[in-house]
Amino acid sequence: MKVLILGGGSVGSKLALDLEEPFALIEADPSRVWQLRNMLKGKEVDLRIIHGDGTSVDTIESAGSDFDVAVVLMNKDAENLEAVSILKGLNVPRIIARVNKSHNMYRFIGMGAEVFLHPIGYEEGLIRTMLFPDANHALQIFVRDGSPAIGRTIKELGLPKGSVIGSILRDDELIPPTPSTEIMMGDLIAIDTVGKKATQAWKAFSKTGKVESSGHLLFPLSNARDLGPIKEVELLSKHLGSEIVLIPLKDDHGLITSARGLISTRLPLRVLEPCPTDEPTRDDKECVDLPGLGHKDRYLLRTIRDHMEEGSPHLDVFIVPGPKPPILFMPFMSRPLDRMIANSPMPVLISRSVRKYRKILLYLHSNCVQEISVAIQLSRAMGSNITAVYRPRNSRRAQYLKRFAQVYNIKVEERKVIGNPTVELIKEVKESHHDLIIIKKDQKDIQTSQLRRLVHIWTGSMMLVP
């Protein structure tokens, strides 16, 4: 890797001292250039210290060519923005830029730069993590209801030394983190760690204290035809390290034995008590009372919510079989189950695939926090590529997804939707082979009737995210 550094202040000089790759550093202050040359003269790497203006095309071109990444560390956002524009024009593949004023962050992101906010206290460590990503030392955490981190400030989290929150995605806004920033439910948080601190950082967000990858795969057992997707459950468990939770809807030892026989004995497996035969009374507090739901469906919903109460950022998934023929002019599930899925607080996987996910299709919209988290976790575990479909106004979400994907060496292909998003999404599904579609259950971009139809006509699996 060949690195270009614009700005030789305290952060730029520390970064230069740590780098073991060829680099060039541009600094405008002549006295600082002299200090840097003395400071770095003992380094056994190919380096150049250049006196000049970091916003000058001629100066940047004089530093050399074929840089793999540029790190922009000047003191004014206007200068950094100008430098980013020049570097984009010179086709530098990656640009990491310091943002001095939080309200300018989106301007940098819109130009395709990876950003961090100054000051954060450990900038050179964060930059090293961004330059040389290590999946074992980088985390992306979706803050679920029940997490002990909710309502606490970043300072109060007590993250281990060297662990830095780089960014927070909240609804449709990128929040610049400061020590006083309060964590809220639904936040998607990027944490960069130095050394083997990822486990300790993870525990600050988990009531259970368990570390990734883990979680639960909830699979209901009702009759023999439901056992087809059990192999997809097994596949997910192998790659995610998740515990399989079988939920019998009736006391059928033969069905439970058959399900156990289809799952490797090396995988963590738990079988819950069967659903009680008798309908619970109206006064039973354990009953989830939703109109139109049967006794067994209410039992399933209560089980789902019990798991959600743990507050762990692990990926929990409720898995149901795909719809059976006939497929025309039918709702994509029976009506009670349809309503139960609509009220599920965890992602629902409509299962149809028994093969490893190679390509995942993700639809990005203005509030797609959990979908990004799920796509990254699955892609990271299975080595999948992601195809992101989005409207131009949601380009920021695509940039955020790409930053995470880069950390985990996940390939992301972009498909910008210019016309009708429903038509374009279905067109992408028909023209390209994807193993899994991840999409929000309720959103304005995609027509609900067409989404149901897509579940019927498509042969792969689909994950509907709350």
Per-residue pLDDT tens over the stretch 249-287: 888 888 888 888 889 999 999 999 888 876 655 545 444
Instruction: Note the pLDDT of residue 328.
Output: 41
407 pLDDT higher than 80 = no
- pLDDT tens-digit series, residues 39-51: 998 888 899 999 9
- pLDDT, residue 327, reads 44
Buried-state track 302-338, b at ≥16 Cβ within 10 A, e below 16: ebbeebbebbbbbbbbbbbbbbeeeeeeeebbeeebe
Nearest to 72 by CA among 40, 34, 104, 99: 99
The arithmetic mean of pLDDT across residues 175-199, rounded, is 80
**Burial bucket for residue 350 (CB in 10 Å: 0-12, 13-18, 19+):** buried
Say what the pLDDT of residue 330 is.
41
- Per residue in 417-443, pLDDT (tens digit) is 888 888 888 888 888 888 999 998 877
Whether pLDDT at 398 is above 90: no
What is the CATH code of the structural domain delimited by 133-209? 3.30.70.1450
Question: How is the chain split into domains, by residue range?
Answer: 1-132, 133-209, 216-351, 359-465
pLDDT score of 314 more than 90: no
Mean pLDDT of 129-157: 82
Quick check: do 133-209 and 359-465 share a fold?
A: no
The CATH number given to 1-132 is: 3.40.50.720
Find out whether the peptide bond into 336 is cis, omega within 30 degrees of 0.
Answer: no
Indicate if the pLDDT at residue 397 is higher than 60: yes
Judged by average pLDDT, the poorest of 181-185, 239-243, 397-401 is: 397-401
Query: What would the two tokens of residue 3 be?
Result: 């690195």
**Which architecture, in CATH terms, is 359-465?**
3-Layer(aba) Sandwich (3.40)
Q: Answer for the pair 398, 414: CB distance below 8 angstroms, yes or no.
A: yes
Q: Which of 321-335, 342-356, 364-378, 417-431 has the lowest mean pLDDT?
A: 321-335
* DSSP H helical ranges for 220-353: 230-240, 253-261, 295-308, 335-342
pLDDT value at 196 more than 70: no
User: Residues of the chain with pLDDT > 70: what percent?
Assistant: 86
**Is pLDDT at 331 greater than 50 in this prediction?**
no
Average of per-residue pLDDT values in the chain: 82
pLDDT-based confidence at 55, cuts 50/70/90?
very high
Q: Most confidently modeled of 77-86, 224-233, 298-307?
A: 77-86
Percent of the chain with pLDDT over 90: 29
CA dihedral 293, 296, 300, 302 (to 10 degrees): 70
* Each residue's pLDDT tens digit, 208-257: 766 655 689 999 887 655 677 888 999 999 998 889 999 988 888 888 88
What does the pLDDT read at residue 334? 53
Q: Does domain 216-351 have CATH number 3.40.50.620?
A: yes
pLDDT at residue 325 in the model: 54
Give me the pLDDT at residue 225, please. Answer: 58
Average pLDDT over residues 50-75: 92
Q: Which residues, at least 6 apart from 103, have a Cβ–Cβ distance to it below 8 Å?
A: none
